[in-house]
């Protein structure tokens, strides 16, 4: 039997099952037949076995059910009736043969010839039933092909429409038919067994959905302006995209291979691991060999060749424009370190083969080799994020410039901005591929490459849409077409951005973003010093853009977690940056630009004040980004940066250059230095390696501190903290104390003993400022219990600041004696936490008392007035 159904050829010899529905329907019969013909012992509990005649009856009943269901399908689909009836006859014939032979075997179960005859009959039965099910499945295929035929006719009508009325009429019919096809294709997609076919169907459905509105607007633009070649290109591009997508649905539905000419075809290369990552993985795999298997003549050239290939790829990344100079130097250093480690390892293998070295020494060299390749990977990942951070900021600016030029009707300007736009689109694609090169997330890589492919296809047509608008700038149809292409391009860029974010780690992104924002802040302040308002505006825009990216990425990351204390802390840090710091920074930037552009900018006093305000606002942005990063890194699954990594800069930014009228004493040494102790021993890392019992006791102390911190947070909610010096100082003290307690757990930004000491000094300075403000409040209060309480709590702050300062100097150190970690006894860490907790309690009480005293005082003065 061979049949054609709407171009679908059914081969009775092909029993390949393509859908889960056929598989699930066939499984029970397979199980029953297998039980009947099996000669293996049963795994069921021993007892009385099922009678063979009962199994035969079950098989016969199952066959009758198949035939009954097939009869219903044949009745509902007269065009397939003959094929179904013929297949049903085959099932009935093979079923009868199976029943007869099975009964004979049941009467004589010890007869091997009868068993063999029954097995042959069973195979024939299963084959005929499978053919029947596949034929029945072709009913669904037929429905999809009918929908495809209707959509293809609609597309041709749209393509051949001669006026707007015809176009709108045919497009409405296309909309109805495409919805029907999409629903059929979605059901088929979920039912398919083959994953590649599923993905091809999903991609085709996505293309149809994403291009449907473009099909209408591009066709309208062509009908209105047929004299413009760009309009025809626009229309033909969208038409071909939809037609190809429908063709893929047709090919997958019929089980045919997709033609290689299809631009939307998915292939296995889309989901292959990145080149550099694959090369490094393979290199690490070869390095991990037993010393006894080392063959210098084979292994040495193999490893050296692979390593040079890796280094060549790393060099290309290092020499890219977005790779920072210090990053380039680190990559070069790590490449040299890997090369040297490989030679050391090979020498050790040779020594082992000459019985001059032990297997333990070889393993040590292997571990060193793995450490060096790990460090190289880390630098390469950071270089990738350098590119991502620079490129995926303000991704729509070149597009808006292109559209603005088109709306003005400036054809030459459109061509100039089109070149910039295309370069930007190519850069997005290039950086996306660079990100893929250092990723091993197969599914993520596939999404990145798919989104990049869509942008590659769409970008020239966005330019064509702009050219149409530029040539006919008063045309509503051209403007509508431009808007739809703009929205589509922005949607694909968002998809690409999200996909790239998925294959880059959050810790790498935040570390690099923090550094890039620091660079921009330096440039912004330098521009202020040079009194260049345009550069101030431009660099401030970059700062806001990068900060917005941090907010978006971190917010998206938190959606992956269950709500809890960790996510609440991160979301709060994001909220502060988004709702408080960035608006304040934007306001300061506006004031600074206005000041520079007015003649009064050369009033030294006004300029100094504006410059200092800008420095403070920039400092707030940097600290806001840093707070977000520290909050995110509280997740124990994430890796804290090592001591020599960036992101823990000594200075938040460089102090401003001396202006022509000389620097002010305040601006020369702004309070911008956090933790300058960078060259001491890495005590924080030793804290991580304390004995488990001691770490558990430290955790108990930290939990107590966290409870006090939550009390503090509840207290400050009463205040409007914008411009409130008490709350600002209290929050700063709380953050630093949290970092000190994190140090005792081997976490956080404080890395060394000197960092802890400097943090304690900062707390003391903040405490002194808080002391002064609180005493000013107390001085304005009438003699009362509130005033007495406030003064007492302020005195406690002074005491506990002094105590914390002493504790940090005396007990924060970690010593390594004879290879054993000693923290001056466990009380070193717990004393530090206890001192911080006492100070936090005093701050909570002071804030509360200040609130009571200030509101009472305001109430009394209000009554008097």
In this prediction, residue 420 carries a pLDDT of 94
In this prediction, residue 256 carries a pLDDT of 78
Mean pLDDT calculated for residue range 833-848: 76
Overall fold of domain 392-497: 1.20.120
* Confidence check: pLDDT of 850 > 90: no
In this prediction, residue 722 carries a pLDDT of 44
Q: What is the pLDDT of residues 218-246, one digit of tens each?
A: 999 999 999 999 999 999 999 999 999 99
Helices of type H across 38-111: 52-76, 81-107
In this prediction, residue 13 carries a pLDDT of 47
In this prediction, residue 774 carries a pLDDT of 78
Mean pLDDT calculated for residue range 724-750: 71
Nearest to 631 by CA among 744, 726, 554: 554
* Confidence check: pLDDT of 712 > 70: no
Domain ranges of the chain: 1-39+49-222, 275-388, 392-497, 505-658, 681-865
What are the Cα distances from residue 741, in Å, to 340, 642, 694, 745, 834? 40, 18, 14, 7, 9
The pLDDT-based confidence of 687 (bands split at 50, 70, 90) is: low
In this prediction, residue 671 carries a pLDDT of 35
Q: What is the pLDDT of residues 530-540, one digit of tens each?
A: 888 889 999 99
In this prediction, residue 601 carries a pLDDT of 47
* Confidence check: pLDDT of 825 > 50: no
Q: Which span out of 373-387, 659-673, 730-744 was modeled with the highest average pLDDT?
A: 373-387
* Confidence check: pLDDT of 429 > 90: yes
When the pLDDT of each residue in the chain is averaged and rounded to a whole number, the result is 77
Percent of the chain with pLDDT over 70: 71
Lowest mean pLDDT among 129-143, 274-288, 593-607: 593-607
Lowest mean pLDDT among 95-104, 434-443, 498-507, 717-726: 717-726
* Confidence check: pLDDT of 861 > 60: no
Concatenating the DSSP letter of every residue in 20-40 gives HHHHHHHHHHHHHHHHHH--S
Concatenating the DSSP letter of every residue in 217-267 gives HHHHHHHH-TT-HHHHHHHHHHHHHHHHHHHHHHHHHTTPPPPTT-TT---
Q: Higher-confidence residue: 45 or 422?
A: 422
Running DSSP on this structure, what letter comes out for residue 3? E
* Confidence check: pLDDT of 815 > 50: no
Residues in the chain: 865
State how far the Cα of 24 lies from the Cα of 16, in Å rounded to an integer. 14
State how far the Cα of 438 lies from the Cα of 433, in Å rounded to an integer. 9
Mean pLDDT calculated for residue range 123-148: 78
The pLDDT-based confidence of 727 (bands split at 50, 70, 90) is: confident
Q: Higher-confidence residue: 811 or 148?
A: 148
* Confidence check: pLDDT of 647 > 50: no
Q: Higher-confidence residue: 478 or 828?
A: 478
Q: Higher-confidence residue: 687 or 674?
A: 687
Q: Give SS3 for 4.
A: strand
With a CB cutoff of 8 Å and minimum separation 6, the contacts of 169 are: none
The pLDDT-based confidence of 120 (bands split at 50, 70, 90) is: confident
Question: Residue 257 — left, alpha, or beta (φ > 0 → left; ψ -120 to 50 → alpha)?
Answer: beta
State how far the Cα of 865 lies from the Cα of 858, in Å rounded to an integer. 11
Strands 8-10 and 815-817: unpaired
Q: Which span out of 51-60, 203-212, 740-749, 799-808 was modeled with the highest average pLDDT?
A: 203-212
Q: Give SS3 for 733.
A: helix
State how far the Cα of 747 lies from the Cα of 752, in Å rounded to an integer. 11
Mean pLDDT calculated for residue range 728-738: 75
With a CB cutoff of 8 Å and minimum separation 6, the contacts of 123 are: none
Mean pLDDT calculated for residue range 724-728: 71
In this prediction, residue 237 carries a pLDDT of 93
Q: Higher-confidence residue: 833 or 241?
A: 241
HSE (side-chain half, CA atoms, 13 Å) at 822: 8
Strands 820-822 and 815-817: antiparallel
Mean pLDDT calculated for residue range 691-696: 66
Distance, C-alpha 152 to centroid of its chain: 38
Locus of tokens 């080799």: 369
* Both tokens assigned to 25: 């329907």
In this prediction, residue 688 carries a pLDDT of 57
The pLDDT-based confidence of 863 (bands split at 50, 70, 90) is: very low
The pLDDT-based confidence of 505 (bands split at 50, 70, 90) is: confident
Nearest to 380 by CA among 272, 276, 500: 276
Lowest mean pLDDT among 193-197, 638-642, 694-698, 795-799: 638-642
* Confidence check: pLDDT of 302 > 90: no
If you classify domain 1-39+49-222 with CATH, what class do you get? mainly alpha
In this prediction, residue 221 carries a pLDDT of 93
* Confidence check: pLDDT of 656 > 60: no
- CATH code of 681-865, in short, is 1.20.120.230
Contact between 383 and 327 under an 8 Å Cβ cutoff? The reply is yes
With a CB cutoff of 8 Å and minimum separation 6, the contacts of 115 are: 37, 39, 105, 109
Contact between 463 and 420 under an 8 Å Cβ cutoff? The reply is no
Burial of 361 (0-12, 13-18, 19+ CB in 10 A): middle
Lowest mean pLDDT among 90-104, 246-260, 388-402: 90-104
* Confidence check: pLDDT of 560 > 80: yes
Q: Which span out of 106-110, 489-493, 705-709, 724-728 was modeled with the highest average pLDDT?
A: 489-493
Q: Higher-confidence residue: 485 or 681?
A: 485
Residue 139: how many CB atoms within 10 A of its CB?
Answer: 16
The pLDDT-based confidence of 583 (bands split at 50, 70, 90) is: very high
In this prediction, residue 860 carries a pLDDT of 42
Concatenating the DSSP letter of every residue in 255-301 gives TPPPPTT-TT---GGGGSPPHHHHHHHHHHHHHS--GGG--HHHHHH
The pTM score is 0.67
Q: Higher-confidence residue: 742 or 7?
A: 742
- Determine whether domain 275-388 maps to CATH 1.20.120: yes
Q: Higher-confidence residue: 19 or 843?
A: 843
Q: Higher-confidence residue: 13 or 18?
A: 18
Nearest to 207 by CA among 170, 246, 152: 246
In this prediction, residue 728 carries a pLDDT of 73
Sign of the Cα torsion 542, 546, 551, 553 reads: positive
The pLDDT-based confidence of 419 (bands split at 50, 70, 90) is: very high
In this prediction, residue 586 carries a pLDDT of 92
Overall fold of domain 505-658: 1.20.120
Lowest mean pLDDT among 158-172, 296-310, 348-362, 437-451: 348-362
State how far the Cα of 549 lies from the Cα of 578, in Å rounded to an integer. 11
* Confidence check: pLDDT of 171 > 80: yes
**Same fold: 275-388 with 505-658:** yes
* Confidence check: pLDDT of 699 > 70: no
The pLDDT-based confidence of 4 (bands split at 50, 70, 90) is: very low
Q: Which span out of 145-159, 242-256, 261-275 was modeled with the highest average pLDDT?
A: 145-159
Mean pLDDT calculated for residue range 758-767: 76
Q: Higher-confidence residue: 176 or 37?
A: 176
The pLDDT-based confidence of 271 (bands split at 50, 70, 90) is: low
* Confidence check: pLDDT of 425 > 90: yes
Contact between 838 and 806 under an 8 Å Cβ cutoff? The reply is no
The pLDDT-based confidence of 401 (bands split at 50, 70, 90) is: very high
């Amino acid at each position: 039997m061979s049949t054609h159904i709407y171009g679908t050829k059914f081969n009775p010899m092909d029993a390949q099952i393509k859908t889960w529905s056929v598989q699930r329907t066939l499984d029970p019969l397979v199980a029953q037949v297998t039980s009947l013909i099996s000669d293996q012992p049963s795994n069921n509990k021993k007892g009385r076995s099922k009678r063979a005649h009962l199994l035969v009856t079950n098989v016969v009943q199952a066959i009758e059910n198949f035939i009954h269901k097939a009869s219903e399908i044949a009745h509902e689909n007269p065009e397939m009736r003959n094929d179904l009836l013929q297949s049903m006859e085959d099932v009935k014939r093979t079923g009868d043969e199976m029943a007869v032979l099975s009964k004979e075997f049941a009467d004589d179960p010890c007869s091997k010839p009868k068993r063999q005859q029954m097995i042959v009959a069973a195979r024939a039965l299963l084959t005929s039933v499978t053919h029947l099910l596949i034929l029945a499945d072709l009913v669904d295929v037929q429905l999809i092909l009918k929908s495809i035929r209707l959509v293809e006719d609609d597309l041709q009508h749209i393509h051949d429409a001669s006026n707007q009325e015809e176009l709108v009429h045919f497009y409405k019919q296309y909309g109805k038919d495409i919805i029907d096809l999409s629903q059929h294709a979605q059901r088929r997609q979920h039912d398919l067994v083959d994953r590649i076919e599923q993905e091809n169907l999903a991609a085709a459905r996505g293309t149809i959905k994403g291009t449907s509105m473009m099909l209408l607007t591009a066709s309208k633009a062509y009908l209105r302006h047929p004299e413009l070649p760009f309009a025809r290109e626009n229309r033909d591009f969208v038409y071909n995209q939809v037609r190809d997508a429908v063709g893929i649905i047709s090919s997958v539905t019929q089980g045919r291979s997709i033609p290689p000419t299809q631009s939307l075809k998915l292939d296995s290369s889309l989901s292959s691991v990145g080149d550099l990552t694959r090369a490094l993985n393979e290199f690490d795999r070869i390095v991990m060999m037993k010393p006894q298997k080392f063959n210098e003549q084979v292994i040495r050239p193999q490893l050296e060749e692979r390593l040079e290939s890796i280094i060549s790829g790393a060099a290309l990344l290092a020499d890219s424009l977005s790779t920072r100079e210090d990053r380039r130097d680190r990559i070069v250093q790590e490449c040299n370190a890997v090369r040297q480690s490989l030679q050391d390892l090979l020498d050790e293998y040779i020594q082992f083969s000459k019985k001059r070295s032990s297997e333990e020494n070889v393993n040590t060299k292997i571990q060193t080799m793995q450490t060096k390749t790990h460090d190289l990977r880390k630098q390469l990942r950071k270089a990738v994020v350098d590119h991502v951070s620079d490129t995926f900021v303000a991704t729509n600016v070149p597009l808006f410039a292109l559209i603005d030029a088109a709306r003005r009707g400036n054809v030459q300007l459109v061509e100039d901005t089109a070149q910039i736009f295309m370069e930007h689109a190519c850069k997005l694609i290039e950086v996306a591929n660079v990100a893929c090169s250092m990723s091993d997330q197969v599914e993520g890589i596939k999404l990145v490459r798919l989104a990049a492919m869509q942008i590659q296809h769409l970008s020239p047509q966005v330019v064509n849409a702009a050219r149409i608008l530029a040539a006919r700038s008063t045309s509503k149809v051209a403007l509508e077409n431009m808007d739809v292409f703009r929205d589509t391009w922005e949607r694909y860029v968002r998809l690409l951005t999200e996909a790239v974010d998925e294959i880059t780690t959050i810790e790498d992104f935040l570390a690099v973003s923090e550094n890039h924002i620091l660079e921009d802040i330096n440039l912004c302040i330098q521009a202020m010093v040079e009194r260049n308002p345009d550069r101030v505006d431009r660099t401030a825009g970059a700062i806001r853009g990068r900060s917005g990216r941090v907010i978006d990425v971190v917010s998206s990351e938190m959606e992956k977690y269950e709500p809890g204390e960790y996510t609440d802390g991160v979301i709060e840090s994001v909220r502060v940056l988004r709702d408080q710091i960035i608006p304040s920074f934007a306001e300061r930037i506006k004031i600074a630009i206005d000041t520079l552009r007015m003649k009064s900018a050369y009033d030294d006093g006004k300029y100094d004040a504006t410059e200092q305000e800008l420095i403070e606002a920039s400092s707030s942005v940097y600290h806001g980004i840093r707070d977000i990063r520290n909050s995110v890194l509280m997740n124990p699954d994430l890796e804290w940066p090592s001591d020599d990594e960036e992101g823990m800069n000594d200075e938040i930014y460089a102090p401003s250059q001396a202006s022509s009228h000389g620097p002010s004493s305040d601006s020369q040494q702004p309070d911008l230095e956090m933790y300058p102790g960078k060259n001491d021993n890495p005590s924080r890392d030793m804290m991580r390696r304390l004995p488990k019992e001691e770490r558990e006791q430290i955790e108990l102390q930290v939990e107590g501190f966290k409870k006090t911190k939550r009390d503090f947070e509840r207290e400050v909610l009463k205040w409007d903290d914008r411009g409130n010096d008490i709350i600002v100082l209290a929050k700063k003290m709380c953050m630093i104390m949290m970092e000190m307690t994190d140090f005792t757990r081997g976490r956080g930004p404080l890395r060394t003993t000197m960092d802890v000491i400097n943090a304690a000094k900062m707390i003391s300075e903040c405490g002194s400022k808080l002391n002064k403000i609180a005493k000013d409040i107390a001085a304005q209060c009438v003699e009362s219990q509130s005033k007495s309480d406030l003064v007492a709590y302020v005195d406690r702050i002074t005491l506990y600041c002094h105590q914390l300062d002493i504790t940090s100097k005396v007990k924060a150190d970690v010593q390594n004696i004879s290879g054993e970690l000693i923290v001056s006894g466990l009380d070193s860490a717990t004393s530090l936490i206890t001192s911080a907790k006492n100070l936090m309690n005093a701050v909570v009480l002071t804030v509360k008392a200040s609130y009571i005293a200030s509101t009472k005082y305001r109430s009394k003065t209000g009554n008097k007035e």
